[in-house]
């Protein structure tokens, strides 16, 4: 639990409404980033809070422009919501800059709540969202993360499974970028494989925001008190349903159908 910085006391956990803080970029098209995180957390019964790291002009075709939020403002957003509302889990997505990565990691170094780090580098459209200096600073965030959730290209860019696990975090290897009829997602602990989930590949280009959706669903499960394996399985299931229910918006890679996953919670009980 993160302490209330004003009083030095801890804000009590709300068992019926996990408080999830997303530290990520804004997607003006509503498919990924902060917008996907809010929709995911809301549909899973949590309360979504945000610390916006960047404002992007983007749609299903790509990212047209990026404005990075100053580091001090990112930290002030975190302090503002944590000091009043409290937080049960944190999801980190697009971080914006190397300075922001280092500052956020330092801010969270003494945390005692779950942190899910989705090392966003490239948008689904192919647009670059992290430069080499920022990617090099991801190590600081992996040091404070409970679990890191790269796709296969991101896994390779970060040096592979063993390099990530060297940071003493857990690792989800997402199989969406693999070939074949099946998609395999794996949850690894520093000492070995914990869980493997296999499912049929969903043939669609409506996949904008899948990584953000998965990471925020995982954070919401952890914030609600699920153990890591159950939270992982829930996140895989929620993301797959949201892909199937994608409404088909835009001319490119469209957003998922978070709003149509209305029967998910009942089906999980």
Count structural domains, the chain: 1
Contacts of 56 (CB under 8 A, 6+ apart): 25, 26, 27, 28, 33, 63, 64, 65, 66, 67, 129
pLDDT 10s per residue in the chain (269 long)?
343 333 333 445 556 799 999 999 999 999 999 999 999 999 999 999 999 999 999 999 999 999 999 999 999 999 999 999 999 999 999 999 999 999 999 999 988 899 999 999 876 666 667 788 989 999 999 999 999 999 998 999 999 999 999 999 999 999 766 666 788 999 999 999 999 999 888 989 999 999 999 999 999 999 999 999 999 999 999 999 999 999 999 999 999 999 999 866 544 53
| Domain harbouring 250, CATH code | 3.40.1190.20
* Residue-range definition of the domain harbouring residue 232: 19-151+206-268
Helices (H), 52-180: 71-84, 98-108, 132-136, 138-144, 152-157, 161-165
Query: Is 156 a domain residue?
Result: no
193: tokens are: 């494989």
Query: Is 100 a domain residue?
Result: yes
22 phi/psi in degrees, rounded to 5? -100, 120
Q: Dihedral angle at the C-alpha atoms of 235, 247, 21, 269, nearest 10 degrees? A: -40
- Residue 48 bridge partners (DSSP): 20
Answering whether pTM is above 0.85, one says yes
Catalytic residue set: 174, 207, 209-212
Query: Is 232 a domain residue?
Result: yes
């Amino acid at each position: 639990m993160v302490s209330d910085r004003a009083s030095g006391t801890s804000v009590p956990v709300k068992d019926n409404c996990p408080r999830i803080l997303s530290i990520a970029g804004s997607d003006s098209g509503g498919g990924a980033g902060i917008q996907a995180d809010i929709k995911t957390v809301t549909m899973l019964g949590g309360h979504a809070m945000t610390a916006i790291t960047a404002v992007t002009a983007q749609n299903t075709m790509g990212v047209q422009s990026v404005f990075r939020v100053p580091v001090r403002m990112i930290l002030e957003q975190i302090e503002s919501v944590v000091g009043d509302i409290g937080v049960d889990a944190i999801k980190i997505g697009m971080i914006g800059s190397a300075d922001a990565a280092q500052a956020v990691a330092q801010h969270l170094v003494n945390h005692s709540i779950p942190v899910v780090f989705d090392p966003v580098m490239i948008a689904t459209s192919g647009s670059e969202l992290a430069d080499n200096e920022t990617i090099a600073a991801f190590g600081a965030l992996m040091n404070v993360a409970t679990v890191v959730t790269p796709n296969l290209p991101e896994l390779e860019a970060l040096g592979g499974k063993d390099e990530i696990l060297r940071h003493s975090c857990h690792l989800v290897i997402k199989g969406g970028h693999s070939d074949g009829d099946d998609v395999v997602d794996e949850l690894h602990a520093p000492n070995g494989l914990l869980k493997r989930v296999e499912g049929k590949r969903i043939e669609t280009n409506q996949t904008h925001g899948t990584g953000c959706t998965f990471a925020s669903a995982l954070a919401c499960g952890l914030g609600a008190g699920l153990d890591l394996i159950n939270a992982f399985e829930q996140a895989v299931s929620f993301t797959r349903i949201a892909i199937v229910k994608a409404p088909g918006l835009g001319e490119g890679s469209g957003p998922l159908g978070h709003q149509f996953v209305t029967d998910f919670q009942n089906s999980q009980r």
